Amino acid sequence: METIIEEYLRFIQIEKGLSSNTIGAYRRDLKKYQDYMTEHHISHIDFIDRQLIQECLG
């Protein structure tokens, strides 16, 4: 999952030209989500669904 996050962050920085502050905010949010997934023993991206995202945000 960490590799996917880093690839996404590189993409939005290079291709979308987002600022380093925006990238930092995305990195923090995605780290929180990754920690949530680890705590709930979710090890593969295929197990992510709308309900899981809502639970994480809630």
pLDDT of residue 45: 82
The 10s digit of each residue's pLDDT in 47-56 is 888 998 898 8
pLDDT of residue 8: 95
Q: What percent of the chain has pLDDT over 70?
A: 100
CA atoms of 58 and 49, how far apart (whole Å):
14
User: Cβ distance 48 to 42 under 8 Å?
Assistant: yes
Task: Give me the residues of the chain with pLDDT under 50, please.
Answer: none
Give residue 11's pLDDT. 96
What six digits make up the tokens of 41? 């023993």
